[in-house]
Structure 1
Amino acid sequence: MLRAQLDRISALDGALHSYALVMPDAAMAQAEAAQAEIAAGRYRGPLHGVPIAVKDLCFTAGFATAGGMAIHEHYMPIEDATVVRRLKEAGAVLLGKLQLTEGAYSDHHPSITPPRNPWHADHWPGMSSSGSGVATAAGLCYGSLGSDTGGSIRFPCAANGLTGIKPTWGRVSRHGVFELAASLDHIGPMARSALDAGVLLGVIAGSDENDPTAALDPVPDYLATADHGVQGLRIGIDAAWNSDGVDPATQAMLKDAAETLRSLGARPVDLRFPDVTEAVADWFPLCAVEAAVAHEATYPSRKDAYGPVLASVIEAGVSVSGTALQKIRLRRMALHGRVSALFADIDLLLIPVHPFASPTVAAMQTLGETPTLVSALLRYTAPFDMTGHPTITLPGGFTNAGMPLAFQLVAAHMDEATLVHAGAAFQGVTAWHRRHPLD
């Protein structure tokens, strides 16, 4: 399995650029150890011997962790991130580190070649976790870890036809992971299916003495409840929010997804979602302030080593006043309360990932010149980084041009189990997640 995986990386990744670093010798040693343990009856669980890769924000002891940044090109951590340690303890084989945008913001450092969408190189591969999305979709790993501050697990899953879970904030430890914006950063799994994503989440989740913000809530056995189905689940749908400014292909996909869930026994519930205009606008200065804090040791002292986009974000963060920040915090708390209250009447919320199907690289390169495009892109993702609610991204169809489409289900805090079994039920009667590029 591992040799074939390494051969596939060697054959394909020269064009896809999904890996920042491949670790063949270490991976081979881990695979041989896993084979010996399994043969001796010491089976550690469903990830034992499985080749996994992680976003290059996650510290790996003895191997460079750059975070997409030139300033950290040669940074060699002395410890593993908690999520990496837990993968290793579960017997997973760590193939390498996956490429990302600079500091996990919106653009790559000028010295880095961005990952390319394996379905079509002209189309966007997703935001900062694009390397994770490209590698997993192209079969260059069996699953991966990404991070999501404004949508960067969900965007590459949608772009590459994958399933991904943005967990509740605090469900997964952030210890040993480069920060972009501490109170917005989420670490989560990206995989081919809801079941695979649930397995990965079950391994990396849980409290951590090294991260006091990691929740103490017990971690469910997501596989044990994966066959619960959706019978009787209340699926909240805001028809106006899901259609306003949303293109026809995405609207049709949402309608089909809702009908599939209804046919499985779920009950659609009409609702009105809180207005997110302020939340999306607030996300930018809040992320900028927190990025300025995260980079204060190297910015502005090493300003020349930064790319222009990340540098501009940090500069913007420094200029936000304390009173402006407090107003953002109060609005954020209010949104959290309003969204949480919805889950008294629903079990899941059905929404798009973004309002336009499979954007091109050329279109996304105009983001800096088109504020309305940025706001539209973040409309269905950033609010749930602001509130911390968990979401699962599920492949839901394809455009006429053969590019993947996806939707999100959102759940109450710490209810990733419902996301996994709802996703598994949907994927039990659909085959969108089984179509892969390059096959």
Structure 2
Amino acid sequence: MNNSTDIHYLEMHELSQLIRSRKLSPVEVTKAQLSRIEALDGKLNSYARVTADIALEQAQQAEDELAKGICRSPLHGIPIAFKDLIDIAGVVTAAGMPLHAHRIPEHDATVVTRLREAGTVMLGKLQMTEGAFAIHHPDIVEPNNPWGAAYWAGASSSGAGVATAAGLCYGSLGSDTGGSIRFPCAANGLTGLKPTWGRVSRHGVMEMAASLDHVGPITRSARDTLFLLSTISGHDPLDPTSLSSVCLEVPSIEPSFKGLTVGVDLEWINKDVDPVIQKALEEIIRIIFAGGGRVKKIKMPDTYHVSSNWESHCGVQIAVAHEETYPKYAAQYGSALSRLIDGGRQLSGMDYQRILLEAQRFNGAMDALLQDIDIILAPVQPYAAPTHDQLANLAQDPEANRHLIQFTAPFNVSGHPCMSFPIGLTDNHMPIGGQFIGRKGGEATLCRAGMAVQEVSDWHKLRPNLNME
């Protein structure tokens, strides 16, 4: 295993063993990743900027420490990358906005600090939609889905999804305000997790909508998701919304459905959902049964109104987040983000209060439902592998957007954790994704269930057929 085509698709837990056993070195792995980025990303456009010098310096430091018997964590020496709204000291963080093309933070985000302390290697910043909304800024080249350039690469964490799927990093950090960790995972055949709100610090992460934003991992397997999540989660005194929770212990979680009750609302997961997704979810139910899990019929709380309200709910908060630059620099904003902010600025206080009351009702109903079950099975989106043409008017059509986010955005509103994972391919050989939704603080159970699916399936091991390889 001495060249990039041998090592670039290893899962992080596999690479960790090879590095710690001295069969691979962090410098060797990092150079291979940088060469691969140089060779392929001109067509994939997943990176906003590559930090090659920093990566090589960190890789050498990791190699020197490991040679002395110093192992900081299972992630020591592993190259990863960050969505371009996560602050890294001395590196431009622009959030997909030309307006911020020269914004250089003085301090790391807390998640970056934790991953630095764990000994990871930073490959760079990953491209994203403008301000983390639905569409890329007109002046920014959109990342291409490595499974097929005609197809959507997922929402705002698009670069993270593309780079992780194409073997241009071993894992990445994204953010999810209405589905933007889960959508790129579904579109690119990946596994990722939107944590419980407050489980992972948002300090140093450029805000979209404060009460809806979640930071989490995008990886190639549920076990890798656990690796990253266990490192970045936990209380942060710099984030007043951070939960006083302990970090997850990786070795203590084993894949199994035994003793777990999985809730399924067949009407909810099948209504206006593509048959290929329905069939794939039926296979997941079979896997749960075969693994000793219990499947219980449930009735989901109303998600229609919460997903219908999402744009207004988000719009008010993003208007606050951008008040220093909008409308002052409105000419430098794209039309989609401008529309969202304008809508938020125009919403009345009474209408916003009605949205908040509906959110509280949904939150309480979800908490009550999850008292009797451990997790809920759902699709990530109602249709499989949409093309760019299908989604061309998404940001201008609130009902089309509501239809897309009906299985994702409600749980940004309620703050419940969700794990997205591959569940098959379409007839066109494009990935599709499902998700488990858990109790607040229930990330360990989600990782356990995701790993249990991946113990008996190989969807997460399927790779895009890149014609540039």
TM-score class, shorter-chain normalisation, is over 0.9
Q: Distance in 2 between matches of 1:106 and 1:285?
A: 14
Q: Distance in 2 between matches of 1:374 and 1:314?
A: 16
| Residue 233 (structure 2) aligned to one of 179, 190, 205 | 205
Per-residue deviation at 1:308?
A: 1.1
Cα distance 1:428–1:340, how it changes in 2: closer, same or farther (>3 A)?
same
Per-residue deviation at 1:369?
A: 5.1
Q: How many residues align?
A: 438
* Residue in 1 that maps onto 2:437: 410
Cα distance 1:309–1:370, how it changes in 2: closer, same or farther (>3 A)?
closer
Task: Report SS of the residue matched to 1:100.
Answer: coil
Q: What are the superposed Cα offsets for residues 417-439 of structure 1, whole Å, 9 maximum, x if unpaired?
A: 00011111110110000011136
Q: Distance in 2 between matches of 1:28 and 1:226?
A: 33
Per-residue deviation at 1:228?
A: 4.8
TM-score scaled by structure 2? 0.92
Q: Distance in 2 between matches of 1:299 and 1:80?
A: 25
Q: What are the superposed Cα offsets for residues 19-46 of structure 1, whole Å, 9 maximum, x if unpaired?
A: 0010000100000000000110110111
Task: Report SS of the residue matched to 2:327.
Answer: coil
Cα distance 1:64–1:114, how it changes in 2: closer, same or farther (>3 A)?
same
Task: Report SS of the residue matched to 2:251.
Answer: coil
| Residue 168 (structure 1) aligned to one of 175, 185, 196 | 196
Q: Distance in 2 between matches of 1:358 and 1:265?
A: 31
Cα distance 1:58–1:151, how it changes in 2: closer, same or farther (>3 A)?
same
Q: Distance in 1 between matches of 2:136 and 2:384?
A: 22
Per-residue deviation at 1:370?
A: 4.3
Q: What are the superposed Cα offsets for residues 337-381 of structure 1, whole Å, 9 maximum, x if unpaired?
A: 000111111101000001111111110112145443211101100
1:105 correspondence with 2:105: no
* Residue in 1 that maps onto 2:460: 433
* Residue in 1 that maps onto 2:22: none
Q: Distance in 1 between matches of 2:112 and 2:84?
A: 11
Contact 1:34–1:91 under 8 Å retained in 2: yes
Q: What are the superposed Cα offsets for residues 388-417 of structure 1, whole Å, 9 maximum, x if unpaired?
A: 000100101111110001100010001100
Q: Distance in 1 between matches of 2:403 and 2:321?
A: 27
* Residue in 1 that maps onto 2:340: 313
Task: Report SS of the residue matched to 2:41.
Answer: helix
Q: Distance in 1 between matches of 2:228 and 2:256?
A: 20
* Residue in 1 that maps onto 2:18: none
Per-residue deviation at 1:312?
A: 1.2
Q: Distance in 2 between matches of 1:257 and 1:13?
A: 34
Contact 1:71–1:305 under 8 Å retained in 2: yes
Contact 1:195–1:226 under 8 Å retained in 2: no
* Residue in 2 that maps onto 1:292: 319
* Residue in 2 that maps onto 1:343: 370
Matches within 5 A, 1:56-205: 56-205=84-233
Contact 2:44–2:146 under 8 Å retained in 1: yes
| Residue 229 (structure 1) aligned to one of 226, 239, 256 | 256
* Residue in 1 that maps onto 2:354: 327
Q: Distance in 2 between matches of 1:6 and 1:156?
A: 22
Between the two proteins, what is the percent identity of the paired residues?
50
| Residue 281 (structure 1) aligned to one of 308, 317, 330 | 308
State the AA in 2 paired with 1:100. M
Q: Distance in 2 between matches of 1:388 and 1:62?
A: 32
Contact 1:138–1:438 under 8 Å retained in 2: no
Q: Which runs of 4+ in 1 moved over 4 A?
A: none
State the AA in 2 paired with 1:350. L
| Residue 27 (structure 1) aligned to one of 32, 55, 58 | 55
State the AA in 2 paired with 1:270. K
Task: Report SS of the residue matched to 2:344.
Answer: helix
Contact 1:165–1:189 under 8 Å retained in 2: yes
1:374 correspondence with 2:407: no
TM-score scaled by structure 1? 0.99
Per-residue deviation at 1:327?
A: 1.1
* Residue in 1 that maps onto 2:70: 42
Segments of 5+ residues of structure 2 without an aligned counterpart are 1-28
Per-residue deviation at 1:225?
A: 2.9
Q: Distance in 1 between matches of 2:343 and 2:208?
A: 14
Contact 1:226–1:424 under 8 Å retained in 2: no
Per-residue deviation at 1:275?
A: 1.3
Contact 1:280–1:378 under 8 Å retained in 2: yes
* Residue in 1 that maps onto 2:297: 270
Task: Report SS of the residue matched to 2:432.
Answer: strand
Task: Report SS of the residue matched to 1:407.
Answer: strand
Q: Distance in 2 between matches of 1:404 and 1:250?
A: 10
Task: Report SS of the residue matched to 1:25.
Answer: helix
Contact 2:185–2:192 under 8 Å retained in 1: yes
Q: What are the superposed Cα offsets for residues 239-259 of structure 1, whole Å, 9 maximum, x if unpaired?
A: 000111111100000000111
Contact 1:146–1:152 under 8 Å retained in 2: yes
Q: Distance in 1 between matches of 2:379 and 2:465?
A: 26
State the AA in 2 paired with 1:332. A
Contact 2:55–2:123 under 8 Å retained in 1: yes
Per-residue deviation at 1:265?
A: 0.6
Q: Distance in 2 between matches of 1:375 and 1:284?
A: 8
Q: What are the superposed Cα offsets for residues 161-194 of structure 1, whole Å, 9 maximum, x if unpaired?
A: 0000000000000010100100000000000000
* Residue in 1 that maps onto 2:446: 419
Q: Distance in 1 between matches of 2:447 and 2:272?
A: 29
State the AA in 2 paired with 1:57. L
